[in-house]
Amino acid sequence: MEKKPIKPLFWKNGLYVIDQTKLPKKKVILKLNSVYKVYNAIKELKIRGAPLIGCVCAYGVLVSFIENKNKSMEDLKKKIKEDIEFLKSSRPTAYNLFYSLNKMSKIVETFTGKDKNELMRRLLNEAKNIHNEDLYACYRIGKYGSKLIKDGMNILTHCNAGGLATTGFGTALAPIYVAKQEGKKFHVYVDETRPVLQGARLTAWELEKNKIPYTLICDNMAGYLMNKNKIDLVIVGADRIAKNGDTANKIGTYSIAVLANYHKIPFYVAAPFSTFDFNIEDGDKIPIEERNENEVKKINGEYISPKKAKVFNPAFDVTPNFLITGFITERGILKPEKIRYLGG
Ligand code: MRU
């Protein structure tokens, strides 16, 4: 495992994050000192990855407190609740956002005291709990998931579900970091992940930093590699998992799951319980974010298509439960059919 997690977020009397749109060229730290800045950082993918979005939003509620601390207690609580709803509207698919903000909201709702400092302490405490829960989940996912990795394996991953997407060692990449620490010798294929290239920009950067042998491929090359017996295991992350195990993750995940199923390659989803939405029966009910057409039409600000090209840009797709071999969670590796009995 990495010696230290990457720390894409930290709280030091204020909220600081790494601007992931600038990676791998440079590491820029942003101070998010207004709720509007937190919202925009999420919307513009400066911070991204379901667990990280959840943790940033938890601290985002403290940013709201600081911005409004001179209001009366009643107005302060009202404004924080409004800001929580505003933050919830930043990205619709990642469940961790709602998981964290609902927990923060409960602190505001149940606080009946008069002391604003006490409210601040309780909010900070809850944000830290959410943060620590994520760190612990990543660690456990790594420990359980590394058992699937054997010497000589070629593992395929999609998007970035590493340290940059969480506050810990990642979800899909955590088993890889633990297996490396255990001295196993293996190799990772990294899908570039069009349109925003989280694989090429972020996963490749993380693996390189951690000296893990990897090869970058375009998304459409996975089938060819599978057909040539070059992939033994697939591990991806998740943005929201429905009660029946249907899983939303970065667009392109479903295609890999179909390919893996056809080639009889195990396909695992690594995710903490904060990504499981037990209020949703199946994947059809998961809201899928559609993003700006320029993400598809431009690379590095330059058009790669006719300017007027019509574009469809869903950020996620849903992989049905029957294509998933298992879920690597902090509670162990679970079969899709077990998920519905673990709710809550
Ligand atoms: O649009 P992004 O970059 O936020 O999408 C991220 C993913 O799809 C990840 O696989 C998922 O959030 C899990 S991150 C541990």
Instruction: Examine the fold and report which residue of 108, 140, 172 is the final residue of a domain before the chain moves on.
Output: 140
Domain with residue 199: its CATH number is 3.40.50.10470
Note whether 133 and 182 are same-domain residues: no
Nearest-CA residue for ligand 1 atom 8 is: 250
Query: Given this model, what pLDDT does residue 3 score?
Result: 56
- Confidence category of residue 342, pLDDT binned at 50, 70, 90: confident
The HSE-up count of residue 158 (CA atoms within 13 Å, CB side) is: 31
Residue 167 near residue 55 (C-beta atoms within 8 A): yes
Read off the tokens for 97: 């956002």
Query: Given this model, what pLDDT does residue 341 score?
Result: 82
The 10s digit of each residue's pLDDT in 23-71 is 999 999 999 999 999 999 999 999 999 999 999 999 999 999 999 999 9
Evaluate whether residue 2 is within a structural domain: no
Evaluate whether residue 311 is within a structural domain: yes
DSSP assignment of 175-200 equals HHHHHHHTT---EEEEE--TTTTHII
Note whether 188 and 326 are same-domain residues: yes
Query: Given this model, what pLDDT does residue 166 score?
Result: 98
Report if pTM > 0.75. yes
Evaluate whether residue 301 is within a structural domain: yes
Note whether 117 and 151 are same-domain residues: no
Task: Give me the catalytic one of 134, 232, 239, 277.
Answer: 239
116-145 and 50-68 helices, crossing angle to 10°: 170
Domain with residue 80: its CATH number is 1.20.120.420
Instruction: Examine the fold and report which residue of 140, 158, 179 is the final residue of a domain before the chain moves on.
Output: 140
Evaluate whether residue 291 is within a structural domain: yes
Query: Given this model, what pLDDT does residue 340 score?
Result: 80
Ligand 1 center to 167 CA (angstroms): 13
Ligand 1 pocket, residues with Cβ under 6 angstroms: 45, 48-51, 94, 159, 161, 165-166, 170-171, 198, 237-239, 249-250, 315
Note whether 155 and 174 are same-domain residues: yes
Question: Does the pLDDT value for residue 2 go beyond 60?
Answer: no
- Confidence category of residue 338, pLDDT binned at 50, 70, 90: confident
Question: Does the pLDDT value for residue 339 go beyond 90?
Answer: no
Read off the tokens for 177: 């970091």
The 10s digit of each residue's pLDDT in 160-173 is 999 999 999 999 99
Ligand 1 center to 12 CA (angstroms): 25
Based on the residue annotation, tell me whether 219 is a catalytic residue of this protein: no
- Confidence category of residue 343, pLDDT binned at 50, 70, 90: confident
Helix (H, G, I), strand (E, B) or coil at 332: strand
> Could you give the CA distance from residue 166 to residue 146 in angstroms, rounded to a whole number?
18
> Could you give the CA distance from residue 237 to residue 324 in angstroms, rounded to a whole number?
12
The 10s digit of each residue's pLDDT in 178-227 is 999 999 999 999 999 999 999 999 999 999 999 999 999 999 999 999 99
The 10s digit of each residue's pLDDT in 254-277 is 999 999 999 999 999 999 999 999
The 10s digit of each residue's pLDDT in 112-157 is 999 999 999 999 999 999 999 999 999 999 999 999 999 999 999 9
Instruction: Examine the fold and report which residue of 124, 140, 156 is the final residue of a domain before the chain moves on.
Output: 140
The 10s digit of each residue's pLDDT in 287-309 is 999 999 999 999 989 999 999 99
Ligand 1 center to 64 CA (angstroms): 25
Evaluate whether residue 177 is within a structural domain: yes
Beta bridge partners of 242: 277
Domain containing 258: what range?
A: 147-339
Evaluate whether residue 244 is within a structural domain: yes
* Pocket mutation for ligand 1, best pick of 43, 44, 45, 48 (most atoms within 8 Å of C-beta): 48
Domain count, the chain: 2
Beta bridge partners of 188: 155, 214
Q: What percent of the chain has pLDDT over 90?
A: 95
Average pLDDT score over the chain: 96
Ligand 1 center to 289 CA (angstroms): 12
The 10s digit of each residue's pLDDT in 325-334 is 999 999 999 9
Note whether 58 and 170 are same-domain residues: no
